[in-house]
Amino acid sequence: MSRTTMTKKKLTKKKLTTLLAMAAIAPLAFSACSAGGAGGSETSGEGADTLTILDYYNNEPDKTLVQAALDKCATDLGVTIERESVPGKDLIQKVLQRASSKTLPDVLMLDNPDVQEIAATGGLSPMSDYDVDTSGFAPGILEAATYEGEVYGLAPAVNTLGLFYNTELLAAAGIEPPTTWDELKAAAAALTVGDQYGMAFSAIATYEGAWQFLPFMWTNGGDETDLGSPEVTEALQLIVDLVESGSASSSVINWSQADVKDQFVAGKAAMMINGPWQIPALMETPDVTWDSVQIPVNKAGQTPVAPLGGEVWTVPVTGDDEKQATAAKFVECISDDENQLALSEARYLVPTKEALAEEYVEKVPTMKSFTEQVANARSRTGQLGEEWPEAATVIYTAMQLALTGQVPVEDAFEQAMAG
Amino acid sequence: MKSTTKHQETAPAVSAGAAGTAAEKGWGEPAGGEPRRGRFTRENVAKVLFIVPAALYLALFFGYPVVKNITMSLQAYTTKTFFTGEAPWVGFDNYATMFGSQLFGPALLNTGLFTIGSIAGQFVIGLALASFFKRRFPLNNFLRSMLLLPWLLPLIVASATWRSILDQDSGILNRFIGAFGLEPVPWLTSPSVALIAVILVNIWVGIPFNVTILYGGLQDIPEELYEAGALDGATGWAAFRYITWPNLRPVVSVVLVLGMVYTIKVLDIILGLTNGGPANATQTLSIRSYQESFVNFEFGVGAAFSNILIVISLLFAIIYLRANRRAVDE
């Protein structure tokens, strides 16, 4: 290679490097433009009669079943809908993210214990602004959706917890479904044979574990505002007794409610605490025959009180008053009688309007015990509101401490409350 | 540092090396010793243009998050903040909450035990396997690639699988132990065993990384050294002690420091296996940070926890850099 070609090459190379460097920056500039553009078009692109909806029913069959109810309301109100379904665990993060970017949906579904927390931020608009009729709904679910005296959303259908039992195993052992804690302990002990446990429940170190403890705590007169009370300790003693006697596996501290259902379906647990949302899964294994009763009580005469689960549809503050009014009508429609019955029947839930209970049980007899349970069910946030997560943390921590034998039952709550 | 400045002096009109020198010069002395007219030459523009993408990238993806994390730890940053945009300054309240929490001490201790236990296990087994695969034998390559499997598996899948393996009643591991007449071990249900179980699973996850890097290091050691050593009577253990180990040291320090930084922040495995339980026995700083931020939505306290993690990681990075510089100086 001669000297001249060398320098030429150097020059072109130099040019090339400049070009390359510019090319490297260009996309950054373009992407900045396009990001701005996308943000702008998102709000302006939708028509005035399009409602955006955010929920967490991202699994079948729920996704389709809910879509049917949404479509019906869209037709009724003459609007088009744009629905987005995210996984349950991502919903709150998604809501926070969209709140900070001012792109909240027109209609937002929230898990009922989260409603007050989000309402407290000022991100939701109260139903009374739109004259939505909230009468006739079960008090528990209204309580969950109420923040500082205002109702922030409606739920078409709810769930709760009950005691499922394997009819075949109980019949073979000649045991009636238990109604009191003593009967529960006796039945669980009698049904524990070989690698089959009498009882299964979830005591996992998450809010799920706390939720499963509530029926025993509330039924016995315990309250989340006073976790140091003897009533609460007695409830903890019950579940510790079940595990220590070997009637329930010590793995309950790691079981989610889905794990509990798997144990029940596999015939490894004769009874379990679980909710009606497991019924479709239970139906998939027809050789396991089951039925359900209300949560057993400590002393005869007590009323079984279980926690209320389910999702509430709300109207976020988007700044577009007209759209918010339409969204409120939409929320009202999702919870109308027809939708309540349709959604409950299809998804094994309980209608929230008390007047529909009788008609519903006639239609779906398997839901009898759960419908009864819902009538007395309590919401998790009714007493504590935004403070509920802290109480829930204390509850599951105390359960874990006591079940692993780290701390005696009577000291568990005190220890857990210490942080 | 010394060598690069020399490079700049001896090559005043570099063209091919523009990228390298531009990066250093742009940060250090913009005007340099050069005459003023040289400021806007095409060459200098090119240099700056080369820096801009890297600088933007660093500022956006490293600078911003770190600064944001530090400011967040000094604010009451909660769910409300996302709606109102208000995050009042609270000084060191979040740090006080963190240090005052009963879980801080145990979490710190667990983080230490988890990191040291995992690294020790991964490294020893990884080195043993790497030395083993250095020999030539049939199916060597096949088996070595199979070893990578844990690395390819999504961690959330791996932890779900291990959870069922370690199940106390029906887990395959306890069934296996039972076949020898031993009592079932409460792997994930006993607070005194759970941390060990979590460490064991993390060792399994980390072995491929250690084997791969250490195997690469072993390949780089010239065969002649071993031949020469063999003539002087250094075979087997002596060959490892006097030839392999000294030659492998730079690789070892890379593996250990990277392993440290990877392990100290492990979240998914612990979340999948125990979620910090039973009875908080497997709480680590990263689990605390996650739970404060994304379960309790106390982003300020969560940020404080993760800042502690960053400081610890930084400490190890500095130790590594210093050790490396010393090695270069030698």
| Model confidence band, residue A16 (pLDDT cutoffs 50, 70, 90) | low
**Proportion of chain A above pLDDT 70, given as a percent:** 88
pLDDT for the residue A326: 93
pLDDT surpasses 80 at B23: no
What one-character DSSP code corresponds to residue B185?
P
Cα B3 to chain center, whole Å?
29
Return phi, psi of residue A360, to 5°: -70, -45
Which segment of A66-70, B82-86, B207-211 scores lowest on mean pLDDT? B82-86
How far apart CA B126 and CA B114 sit, in angstroms, is: 17
- Tell me the β-bridge partners of B159: none
Q: Which residues of B touch A258 (CB under 8 A)?
A: none
Report the pLDDT averaged over residues B120-141.
90
Indicate the residue of B42, B80, B281 with minimum beta-carbon distance to A18. Answer: B42
Indicate the residue of A121, A397, A404 with minimum beta-carbon distance to B80. Answer: A121
Report the pLDDT averaged over residues A189-209.
94
In angstroms, the separation between the Cα of residue A5 and the nearest Cα of chain B is 15
**Chain B interface includes A393 (CB < 8 A):** yes
Q: Which residues of B touch A254 (CB under 8 A)?
A: 163, 188-189, 274-275, 277-278
Sketch out chain B's domains with CATH numbers. Answer: 103-329 (1.10.3720.10)
Report the pLDDT averaged over residues B229-236.
86
Query: B279 and A96 in contact by Cβ < 8 A?
Result: no
**Chain A interface includes B46 (CB < 8 A):** yes
pLDDT for the residue A4: 45
- Tell me the β-bridge partners of A297: A180
DSSP readout, B89-105? B-TTHHHHHHHHSTTHH
Question: Which residue in the block uniquely carries the two structure tokens 């079948």?
Answer: A60
Q: Which residues of A touch B271 (CB under 8 A)?
A: none
In angstroms, the separation between the Cα of residue A393 and the nearest Cα of chain B is 9
Q: Which residues of A touch B276 (CB under 8 A)?
A: 205
Report the pLDDT averaged over residues A195-219.
95
* Nearest residue of B to residue A123, measured between CA atoms: B83
pLDDT surpasses 90 at A360: yes
Query: B278 and A403 in contact by Cβ < 8 A?
Result: yes
Query: B278 and A14 in contact by Cβ < 8 A?
Result: no
Reduced to 3 states (helix: H, G, I; strand: E, B; else coil), residue B31 is coil
How far apart CA A53 and CA A106 sit, in angstroms, is: 6
pLDDT surpasses 80 at B274: yes
| Model confidence band, residue B138 (pLDDT cutoffs 50, 70, 90) | confident
Reduced to 3 states (helix: H, G, I; strand: E, B; else coil), residue B75 is strand
Sketch out chain A's domains with CATH numbers. Answer: 50-159+309-375 (3.40.190.10), 162-307+384-417 (3.40.190.10)
Average pLDDT along chain B: 84
**Chain A interface includes B205 (CB < 8 A):** no
pLDDT for the residue B13: 41
How far apart CA A279 and CA B247 sit, in angstroms, is: 63
SS (H, E, C) chain A: CCHHHHHHHHHHHHHHHHHHHHHHHHHHHHHHHHHHHHHHHHHHCCCCCEEEEEECCCCCCHHHHHHHHHHHHHHHHCCEEEEEECCHHHHHHHHHHHHHCCCCCCEEEEEHHHHHHHHHCCCECCHHHHCCCCCCECHHHHHHCEECCEECEECCEEECCEEEEEHHHHHHHCCCCCCEHHHHHHHHHHCCECCEEEEECCCCCCHHHHHHHHHHHHHCCCECCECCCHHHHHHHHHHHHHHHCCCECHHHHHCCHHHHHHHHHCCCEEEEEECHHHHHHHHCCCCCCEEEECCCECCCCCCCCCECECEEEECECCCCHHHHHHHHHHHHHHCCHHHHHHHHHHHCCEECEHHHHHHHHHHCHHHHHHHHHHHCCECCCCCCHHHHHHHHHHHHHHHHHHHCCCCCHHHHHHHHHCC
Q: How confident is the model over B41-78, as pLDDT tens digits?
A: 888 888 899 999 999 999 999 999 999 999 999 999 98
Indicate the residue of B15, B19, B188 with minimum beta-carbon distance to A254. Answer: B188
Cβ-Cβ contacts under 8 Å for A389 (sequence gap 6 or more): A117, A207, B295, B296
pLDDT surpasses 70 at A358: yes
| Model confidence band, residue B8 (pLDDT cutoffs 50, 70, 90) | very low
| Model confidence band, residue A341 (pLDDT cutoffs 50, 70, 90) | very high
**Chain B interface includes A32 (CB < 8 A):** no
pLDDT for the residue B24: 44
Query: B80 and A120 in contact by Cβ < 8 A?
Result: yes
Report the pLDDT averaged over residues B20-27.
43
Return the residue in A30, A147, A204, A254 with the most chain B beta carbons within 10 A, the one to mutate for interface testing: A254
pLDDT for the residue A13: 57
Reduced to 3 states (helix: H, G, I; strand: E, B; else coil), residue B74 is coil
What one-character DSSP code corresponds to residue B37?
G
Position B35, amino acid: P
Q: C-alpha dihedral over A38, A44, A45, A49, to 10 degrees? A: 150
pLDDT surpasses 60 at A270: yes
Cα separation values, B167 from A189, A405, B164, B179, B198, Å: 22, 19, 5, 16, 13
Q: How confident is the model over B87-113, as pLDDT tens digits?
A: 899 999 999 999 998 899 999 999 999
Indicate the residue of B79, B190, B274 with minimum beta-carbon distance to A96. Answer: B79
**Proportion of chain B above pLDDT 70, given as a percent:** 87
Report the pLDDT averaged over residues A270-296.
93
- The conformational region for residue A171 under phi > 0 = left, psi -120 to 50 = alpha, else beta, is alpha
pLDDT surpasses 70 at B204: yes
pLDDT surpasses 90 at A125: yes
Cβ-Cβ contacts under 8 Å for A287 (sequence gap 6 or more): none
Report the pLDDT averaged over residues B241-262.
89
Average pLDDT along chain A: 88
Closest alpha carbon to A253 in A197, A191, A208: A208
Q: Which residues of B touch A249 (CB under 8 A)?
A: 168-169
Position B175, amino acid: R
* Nearest residue of B to residue A23, measured between CA atoms: B49
Report the pLDDT averaged over residues A281-296.
92
pLDDT surpasses 90 at B38: no
pLDDT for the residue A379: 92
Return phi, psi of residue A198, to 5°: -75, -30
Of B28 and A22, more confident: A22
| Model confidence band, residue B236 (pLDDT cutoffs 50, 70, 90) | confident
pLDDT for the residue B141: 85
pLDDT for the residue A401: 93
pLDDT surpasses 60 at A254: yes
Query: A117 and B79 in contact by Cβ < 8 A?
Result: yes
Return phi, psi of residue A28, to 5°: -60, -45
Query: A418 and B50 in contact by Cβ < 8 A?
Result: no
Question: Edge-to-edge, what's the strand order for the sheet holding A197-200?
Answer: A197-200, A269-274, A162-166, A290-293
Query: A117 and B279 in contact by Cβ < 8 A?
Result: no
Which segment of A32-46, A246-260, A405-419 scores lowest on mean pLDDT? A32-46
